[in-house]
Structure formats: structure tokens, C-alpha cells
Amino acid sequence: MSANDLPSITSSAQWRDHYRDNADDQRHIPWEQGLGVTPAELAEIAESLRAWQLGETSDGRHLLAAAQRYADRIGDPDFLDAVAGFIKEEQRHGEYQGRFLDMAGVPRKQSDWGDSLFRAARYLLPSMEVWATPVVMVETHALIYYNAIRQATKCPVLRAICAQILADEVKHVRFQCEQLAVLLRDRPRWLRVLTMLLHRVFFTGVTLAIWIGHRRALRAGGYGFGRFWRSAWARMRCAWSAMDPTGYAWTEAPSLTALESAGV
């Protein structure tokens, strides 16, 4: 593929508009039909859903603070609006799942070890790269997880929720990958290689942690460990490809290195 054929990075304004438009273009969730979920189905997936729903309920304060600093640094005020749209979409996922749990008589979870580890990873350093890296990895797994939940039940409400979240998560992964491509663009090749090696180590840990915490629900949806492992790595390889800065056509806009040198 020639340089002229390479895609361009989606602008922050385009992502902002996507999240705004998507909020007005949601699938119908048939709440009026009642749940129709069986006790047997709930027994397999309820505990896992409680933990995953908790992970979708962040108020986004830490992320918005990091996004504000980053937007100021690169002179892109639309980036903050794009991130705010992303956060609202994640919160909507949590609202859908929380409403389902409430209707099913399943208490919402207040704490979970997996969610605590994930939040600690995001809050480790106040930078966009440290935030985006674990997010893209978890959202890659979310594509597998919600497909498994959809396959594990005949409940029309839960299947519709999963379909909506899956459609949203495809864009979420792309959003994070493009941000990481921007951040990796000016990194020397040897350092990008090292970064990707560290990604693989971290991704191994994330994959194992998600399997340990959600294996019962994943199995109910047809994902034994082997299928889950292969699917996770296949999807993450696609994500790594999408965050490779050599896969994009870049404009002559100032790079992050140039901005930093200028004291911006």
C-alpha cells in the first residue's frame, strides 16, 4: 500500500460528532417485554455481569483531567469533547446493565478486585498513554465478553443490550488505537518495539485476569479457555495494527515532539 492509500487519523471533532450522533441513534431495548431471563441463565452470568457493570460506572474525573492537560498541550480543544462523549457512552452501557440487574432482582456490586486493579492501572500515571493502553485492552476483551453473554441467554433485553454495546465498542477500540498511534508517532522505532513487547506482557496479565474473573459466564456463552485465549489475541493483534503509526498518512501539522520543543 502506497502512502497515498493510507488512511488518516480521525480528527477529534469527528470523534466528538460521532459520539453525539450515536447518542441519538441507539438500538431499541425492549424493556416493555419484561426480561424473560431464566433462573438457569442468571445463575451462569449474574455474578459476572455485576462485576462488569461496576466497571462501566466511572464518573470519568481522572480521565477528563488527563484529557484536559493533553488537549491544552497539543492545542486541540475538541479532544476533550470527544473524551467526554466516550465517557457518556460508557456510562450509558453501565446504566443499561444496571437497569437489567435491577429488573432481574440482582443487587449491583459496590466493589470488585478486577475493577480495582483496572482503575489502579489507569490512575498509575496521569498520562493519556497510561490511560488508553489498559482501556483498549479491556475493550478488546469486551468484544468477546458481550458476544458470550449474548450467546448465553435468550433474554431479548439482554441480547439487545449486548448488541448495542458491541456496536459501540468497535468504535471505542478504534478511538483508543488512533490516540495511541498519535502518541507513538514520534517514538524511535526501537522504543516502539519495546513498548509493544511491554504491551504483550501486560495483555497476557489482563487476559488471564478476565478469564479468572469471568470464566463461568464466558463458558456459558461458548468460550472455553482455548477459544477465549485465541480470540483475545486475534482481536488485540488487530488493535496493535491500528495503533501502528506507520499505517496512517500524516499531515504536516506539528508533531508532539515539535510542540514540546516549542514549550507548548
As a CATH number, domain 11-246 is 1.10.620.20
Tens of pLDDT, residue by residue over 128-163, are: 888 889 899 999 999 999 999 999 999 999 999 999
- pLDDT at residue 197 tops 50: yes
Is residue 127 within 8 A of residue 193, CB to CB? The reply is no
Residue 89's H or E segment, with its range, is helix 77-104
245-264: burial string, b at 16+ Cβ within 10 Å, e else: beebeeeeeeebeeeeeeee
Q: Span 76-93, mean pLDDT?
A: 94
Tens of pLDDT, residue by residue over 119-134, are: 666 666 567 888 889 8
The predicted structure's pLDDT at residue 87: 93
Q: What is the dihedral of CA 100, 104, 108, 113, to 10 degrees?
A: -90
What cell numbers appear for 12 in the block?
477529534
User: Across all residues in the chain, what is the average pLDDT?
Assistant: 88
The predicted structure's pLDDT at residue 120: 66
Tens of pLDDT, residue by residue over 20-29, are: 999 999 999 9
d(CA 117, CA 250) in angstroms, rounded, equals: 36
Tens of pLDDT, residue by residue over 201-244, are: 999 999 999 999 999 999 999 999 999 999 999 999 999 999 99
The predicted structure's pLDDT at residue 95: 95
Q: Span 5-17, mean pLDDT?
A: 93
Q: Span 242-250, mean pLDDT?
A: 93
Tens of pLDDT, residue by residue over 165-184, are: 999 999 999 999 999 999 99
